[in-house]
Structures are given as structure tokens and as C-alpha cells.
Amino acid sequence: MLNLSKEELVFLVQNYYDAFIVAVFAISVTFFISKVCRRGSDHIPGRLGLPFIGETFSFLRATNSTKGCYDFIRCRRQWYGKWFKTRIFGKIHVFVPSTEGAKTIFTNDFANFNKGYVKSMADAVGDKSLLCVPHESHKRIRRLLSDPFSMNSLSKFVKTFDKMLSERLKELEESGKSFSVLDFSMKITFDAMCNMLMSITEDSLLRQIEKDCTAVSDAMLSIPIMIPGTRYYRGIKARRRLIEGFRAMISRRRNGEESCEDFLQSMLARDPYPENEKLSDSEIMDNLLTLIIAGQTTTAAAMMWSVKYLDENTEAQQRLREEQLSITRNKSDGASLALEDVNRMSYGLKVVKETLRMSNVLLWFPRVALNDCTIEGFEIKKGWHVDIDATCIHFDPDLYKDPEQFNPSRFDEMQKPYSFIPFGSGARTCLGMNMAKVTMLIFLHRLTSGYKWTVDDQDPSLEKKTHIPRLSSGCPISLTPLNNGM
């Protein structure tokens, strides 16, 4: 260290003052220019934090709050603007908030982008799941899985689900007890999916499978370390039990011990086919698990939100009820719905769409950049995760007038491309899209044409520790038969 006296210091300042000022000015200008350059058109603001850790704990804290995990995104958008980046579970994530960005990513799926999930999510559903496989496998698996989920193939499901739903709503109405719409929807969608996929109807077996599927779903956003007692540990253990059960069922069917007309049997009937025309056992089992979890959790949550939104918007509720009653009047007493009836629910479909727009049961769609690229002038590095923020798009006031208002009639008009993406878009559009819509329409038909209801808990708090936004109360309601409540 220099040991200067006061006199020497004064001498230096007096003789080198100009040089000192120039140096400070030069450093300031350099710093300013570097900041401007970094914040130019290619700079995405945000905070990456420490390697691997990043903002993971902040994200998990939001997930564990009653505001939900999207509060993490909402806060950073307030801090940094619509575009921002962060680091979660060791990966850099860029949240893409626009239709233009969504189009760029969706139309270049597999070419420049691939599906991107956090490790815990991929571990939970399996590496042969449609959510995780590479391009060539994805095309083959999706093609082989698609037919049972086409509109033409859903006729049997419509009648089965309508009968199941009618009976269970009647039981609840006769009990006179308040019930959670979320719990009811979770159970009935789960039972309907297991019936369609594997012909499982025994209640004790259904409840055990449901318990394990819930553990797997809970593990999908967790720290992927196998420590006993953690959500990840419980979820992976539950996954192993489910796979063992699926493997035993496949073995029984191949040995002729049981045979059913269902999704699983249609997959096993392809055993003699060439390799590219059938699924391996691992592909069947991972996708059975994926279809059950995806089909239950998202659809059940949307059903719950539809009840809440209709309760808060009596004009939309009454218009929907009138449409559904007109369908009922054209059918004989006790007759089940047919697919043709569902196709006539034009206003009902708008209610479903508006529910999906506002509830955002899929908050964003994750992808990974396969190469360095540019989206709307922002530089994206290879390996970064780019998350199409459906929630931000669906609440953009430039796309939807009064986006916070529940207004099914907004779908009287054609929407701008990539402005309505509850099921994604392009090559990876949700396989169960038609089934989800049909399930919601049947539910809304039976609820509004047969009953009035009151919501018994208006608490808006969200359920903790879930990647799907759901009311912590479950939206409890009490039913009144329509003919007694008019």
C-alpha cells in the first residue's frame, strides 16, 4: 500500500487533477455504454443468481403460497417488463409473453425447439411419455395414440360419462350436503379415464391408483433428490407401484386371463404389427400414466373454475341453462346425451373456451432452444428454456377487451392466431383436447339443466404446492333441483 503524507496527497491532486477527471469520466462513459449495450434490443432483463440455484427457492416459495406458482412470474414481469429471464432448477428460463413469440416457437417445434420440462416432471411421467420423447418417436407415438381421442371415437365415452355423472349428481343432491366441486371433478374424471383406458371400475383399486397418481402429480414440481419423506421421493415410489400394476395387467391380457374393449386392448392388439406400427410396453405404460394425470388434473380444475365463474356471472349462467334445457326438451326422459347433442352446445363451447382462457390450467408451455436463435429481436442461447406464457397472452388487453371479465360472447368473433392456446398449438397440440371439451360440456349440461347451486366458500386463495391453479377451498357448493328452485 502507498503510505502518502497529507502534503504528498495534496501535491498529487493539484498536479494530476485533470488526468484524474479524465480517467473518471472515461470509466463512467465506458460503464454507461456497456450497460446500454447489454440492455439493447437483444438483452433480456432478469436475474440468474447463483449457478444451479438461481431463483429456485423463490419459485418454490411461490408454489407453496396461496397465490400460486404464477405469482413468481407475475412479480418478475412487474420488475423487469413483459420479457424476462430467470434460473430455475439449474436452467435458464425466458418467459415469452406474445402471440408473435408463441408462433415462432410453436411453428418451429422439433426444428429449433423441443419440449422442455424440469427434471422432476420428466422423472414423474417417464422418458417414454409423449411429453418427453424425441421428434421421431413423438410422431409415431402420437399417431398411434390419437385415434381413441378423436371426436368420432368419443361417442361411447359421451354416453358412459353422462350416465356416471347423472347418477353421482343425483346422489349428492339427495344427500343435501355441500360438496367440493374440485374433489368431485377429480374423482369422476379419474374414474372415467381409468374406465376408458383400462376398464377399471372397482372402487378400491381406483382409489389406490388415484392415490399413487396424486403423489406422482405432486412430485412434478419438486427438487429431484431421493430423500425419504419428500414429495419427489413419494412420487417416484408411487410411479414404480403404478408401473408394476400396469405391467401385471398387460401380462394378464396377453395370457388371455382378461380381455376388454378399451384403449389398452387396442394398443396390445398391435403386437403382431411392425415395430413402427405399435408401442413398446414402456411406451404404453408411461403414456397410460401421462394420459391419466393430464386428463384428470387439468380437466377437473377447469370444471371447478367453470362453476366459480358462472356463479359470479348469472347472465352467462342463465343463457347457458336455456341452451341446455332446449337440448333436454328434445330428448326422452332419462335418455343419455349423444355426441350429436354435445355438438349442438354452441354457447356451452364458448363458456368452456372462456373458462380455459381465464383459468389457465396450463400456465405456460415449456420448450428448449436447440440452437442459438432470435425471437422478436431477443437473443436466445442454445439450451435455454423458452416458456410460452399462455397466461400473459390470455390476459393481454390488446388481445381481449376487459380480460379480467368473464365473457363467453367474446368468442362470437374469430380470435387472432396464437391468442387462444389452452391446449398449445402445432405438432404438440394436446392429445386430449377433444375429450377435455366434451367432458366439460357434459358436466355443464347436467349441472345447469338439472340444478341451481350456491357456492358455500368464496375464498379466492389457491391451493399450495401444485403446478395447476386450483382454489384451496375446492369451490364447495350445495345443489337445488331446478324444478324446485325456479
Give the H or E element holding residue 378: strand 378-380
User: pLDDT at position 42, please?
Assistant: 57
CA 24, 27, 30, 34: dihedral to nearest 10 degrees? -120
Assign 24 a pLDDT band (cuts: 50, 70, 90).
very low
Q: Please give the Cα distance from 427 to 76 (Å, whole number).
A: 30
Q: Please state the rounded mean pLDDT for residues 235-258.
A: 96
Q: Please give the Cα distance from 92 to 70 (Å, whole number).
A: 17
Assign 40 a pLDDT band (cuts: 50, 70, 90).
very low
User: pLDDT at position 332, please?
Assistant: 86
Res. 73: pLDDT tops 60: yes
Res. 396: pLDDT tops 60: yes
Res. 35: pLDDT tops 80: no
User: pLDDT at position 477, please?
Assistant: 97
- Which of 5-14, 115-124, 342-351 is predicted least confidently? 5-14
Res. 414: pLDDT tops 50: yes
Percent of the chain clearing pLDDT 90 (strictly above): 76
User: pLDDT at position 454, please?
Assistant: 93
Ramachandran region of residue 345, left (φ > 0), alpha (ψ -120 to 50) or beta? beta
For the whole model, what pTM was predicted?
A: 0.87
352: helix, strand or coil: helix
- Which of 285-289, 291-295, 297-301 is predicted least confidently? 291-295
Q: Please state the rounded mean pLDDT for residues 106-117.
A: 88
Res. 336: pLDDT tops 80: yes
Res. 22: pLDDT tops 80: no
User: pLDDT at position 246, please?
Assistant: 97
What value does the mean pLDDT of the chain take?
89
Res. 7: pLDDT tops 80: no
Residue written as cell 383406458?
197
User: pLDDT at position 222, please?
Assistant: 82
Res. 8: pLDDT tops 50: no
Residue written as cell 415469452?
96
If we measure between CA atoms, which residue out of 351, 353, 346 comes closest to residue 312? 351
User: pLDDT at position 254, please?
Assistant: 95
Sign, CA dihedral 446-452-456-458, equals positive
Percent of the chain clearing pLDDT 70 (strictly above): 91
Other beta carbons less than 10 A from residue 397's beta carbon: 9
